[in-house]
Structure 1
């Protein structure tokens, strides 16, 4: 489980770094919008993509934090739905999952 915890901590650090970049983009730390309307349109479209990426990153970060909390409580390998052990292969693919395949399908 310590490998999984380390992997989750690495993922968390990566997501936090990405969120910092997204926030910098949204705050226009690289400069204001271009004066050209076509360039502004492209920048606005980019803003929408960054907003979507930020939402996804925040969601994944919340899942990682939840998985780390469960590991700290000693129940990180147990399914939240049925209480059975989560297949280790599933945890390798989705280290932040907290449910087994059967419960995820329900």
Structure 2
């Protein structure tokens, strides 16, 4: 179980680092928009992609935080939906999952 906790903490650190990069991009820490309109259009499209990546990263980070809370409560391997044990193979693939396959499909 501590291996899973360690993996989740590593994932959390990685996601927080990514969020910092996305936020730096959104705040134009690398410089203002180009003067050329075509370049501005490309930069604006890039902003939309970064926004999307940031949203996905925040969602995944929230899932990791939730999984870590459940681990701390001693419920890390128990499905939130049905209370059964989550298959260890599922936890290897999705260490931040809190539901078994059956509940995930429902």
TM-score by length of 1: 1.00
After TM superposition, give the deviation of residue 29 of structure 1 in Å: 0.3
Report the aligned-residue RMSD.
Answer: 0.2
The question of 1:60 aligning with 2:63 is answered no
Give the total of aligned pairs.
106
Alignment partner of 1:96 is 2:96 = yes
Residue 74 of structure 1 corresponds to 74
Question: Which stretches of structure 1, 4 residues or more, deviate above 6 A after TM superposition?
Answer: none
Find the aligned partners of 2:47 and 2:90 in 1 and give their Cα distance: 34
Supply the distance in 2 between the matched residues of 1:91 and 1:30 (Cα, whole angstroms). Answer: 38
The gaps in structure 1 that reach 5 residues or longer are none
- Unmatched 5+ residue regions in structure 2? none
